[in-house]
Chain A
Amino acid sequence: MIAGEIDISNTAAVAASLRDEFDGGTDPHLDLSRVSFVDVSGIRALVGLALQMAPNQRLLVHGLAAELETVLKVTGWADLPGLELCSCAGEA
């Protein structure tokens, strides 16, 4: 679970800590329901993580705000093999 806002001031740090956390074999869940803002650099970092995991793992993202889901779609990143948006309740 992470909370707060992600922009260029902390993207690198957030990405590094997530990378450390996602070491295991199963598909990791990332609950963003308490993250009120993710900028393009943050989404880019998540996409980068997902691309590193594919094809063995998928990054399962929960709780992304509807507006940010739109951002993900219009920036062309919605259909990546390693990234899945889940509408179920957060499980992270």
Chain B
Amino acid sequence: MTDPSPSAVNRFRHEALFYSGSAEFVNGTVPFVREGVASGEPVLVVESPEKIKTLRAALERDADQVFFADMSEVGANPARIIPAWCDFVNRHWVPGKSLRGIGEPIWSSRGADELVECQRHESLLNVAFGRGRPWSLLCPYDTATLRPEVIDEARRSHEFIVEGGSARRSENFRGIDASAAAFSAPLASAPPPLDEVTFEKGDLRRVRELVRKRAVAAGLDESRAYTLAVATNEVATNSILHGGGSGTLRIWQDVDRVICEVRDRGVFDLPLVDREAPGPDPSSPRGLWLANQLCDLVQIRTFHEATVVRLHMRLDPRANLSLVTDVESTEATMILPP
């Protein structure tokens, strides 16, 4: 079985590192970073503040050659992680050189909905980069705290696995095409909605007013309620223009968030459209990209004869940070120099 080392890759290498405990984490990541630094490759580490602190200490002077970013910020909405990697690769790629990244998007306290979106993100990395520039992305998974089925899914979403100190191909990797296939993972069952309305062209003003009113009543501040209405309006506009001319909006409140669901009869077949930064060309699509930039979580599903989009807005935006942060914010270097 072939086992190319990360420095020998001539294409994208997406690799999961299974570790348990801090020592295994350091042993699995530090040589990977050091090899990259030694070959003059740009290296970006997107990790929790504690792990950044650990890595900085272990890397010593090599840490000065590495970009660090806080995954609890970059990946608060997991759909914003691919754009960050795209930005890194596009800015730092030079012909003939590889790049390296470490990204740990999944940790045990991720909420259930967030976890599924993180797993979708891991699969979509294969689609976003699998046929593009050569670089290596190592994704640590903490086997001590993550459930076995999360580790199993990592075997399907990564082409390579590092386990017990050795790297090999994952026999369970689903491949690039299957990674791009329509996503139909079940959605959490919703409570009876506060509102359920059908809409068509001409009803969007009513849609926006309803979202704002319900969101404010649920405890969102005016600005975030308005922002949720902006995002919902765009998704509902997609229903009108591309999803059969009409749709159904449902709004409900969960413990810590307001959720707007838009359901229509469209077919969603552009798996990366919500995470590819739109260029200045006025005609390129922007609605779902915008939703991901504005909302805390966006779930897109293709079911039989239905496309469903759920937009989540947290009541307390600070509660995004489900990682413990005991490191001064200055510890994490800004993701990219100007």
A residues neighboring B (CB under 8 Å): 5, 7-9, 37, 39-41, 44, 47-48, 51, 65-68, 70-71, 74-77, 80
In the complex, besides A41-B237, A44-B283, A77-B280, 13 extra interface pairs with C-beta distance below 8 angstroms are: A5-B205, A7-B204, A8-B201, A8-B204, A39-B234, A40-B237, A40-B287, A40-B290, A44-B286, A67-B230, A75-B286, A75-B290, A77-B282
Number of A-B contacts (CB under 8 A): 65
How big is the B interface, by class? 20 to 34
User: Is B246 at the interface (CB under 8 A from chain A)?
Assistant: no
Q: In the complex, are the beta carbons of B290 and A8 less than 8 A apart?
A: no
- B231-246 vs A, Cβ < 8 Å mask (1 yes, 0 no): 0011001001100000
Q: Which residues of B contact A67 (CB under 8 A)?
A: 223, 226-227, 230
Q: Which residues of B contact A40 (CB under 8 A)?
A: 234, 237, 286-287, 290
CA A48 to CA B284, docked complex, whole Å: 12
Known contacts A76-B277, A76-B279: A9-B201 contact under CB 8 Å: yes
Q: Which residues of B contact A8 (CB under 8 A)?
A: 201, 204, 237, 240-241
CA A80 to CA B226, docked complex, whole Å: 25
CA A29 to CA B303, docked complex, whole Å: 47
Q: Can you spell out 29 A-B residue pairs with CB atoms less than 8 angstroms apart?
A: A5-B205, A5-B208, A7-B204, A7-B233, A8-B201, A8-B240, A8-B241, A9-B204, A9-B205, A37-B208, A37-B230, A39-B204, A39-B234, A40-B237, A47-B280, A48-B282, A67-B223, A67-B230, A70-B294, A71-B230, A71-B290, A74-B289, A74-B290, A74-B293, A74-B294, A75-B289, A76-B277, A76-B280, A80-B280
